[in-house]
């Protein structure tokens, strides 16, 4: 199994920053829509990556 350097760096980055992001996400005084904004950003990034990939495949 071959793992790209970028993917390996992303995994290490998520491992190191995961607890900080989880604490930020679950703050009790945070606005109620914060988790929805985070999911919206993740969905938009996924869509953009897929859109770029589909244009290269054609």
Residue 1 is predicted with a pLDDT of 54
Give the whole-angstrom CA distance, residue 52 versus residue 50: 5
Domain boundaries, the chain: 5-57
Per-residue H/E/C for the chain: CCCCHHHHHHHHHHHHHHHHHHHHHCCCCCCCCHHHHHHHHHHHHHHHHHHHHHHHHC
Give the global pTM.
Answer: 0.54
Report, as an integer, the average pLDDT of 37-54. 84
Residue 2 is predicted with a pLDDT of 61
Q: What is the pLDDT of residues 5-40, one digit of tens each?
A: 777 888 888 899 888 888 888 888 988 888 788 889
Choice between 14 and 3, residue whose per-residue pLDDT is larger: 14
């Amino acid at each position: 199994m071959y793992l790209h350097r970028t993917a390996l760096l992303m995994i290490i980055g998520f491992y190191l920053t995961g607890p900080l992001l989880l604490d930020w996400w679950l703050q009790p005084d945070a606005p109620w829509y914060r988790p929805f904004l985070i999911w919206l950003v993740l969905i938009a990034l996924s869509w953009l990556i897929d859109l770029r990939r589909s244009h290269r495949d054609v």
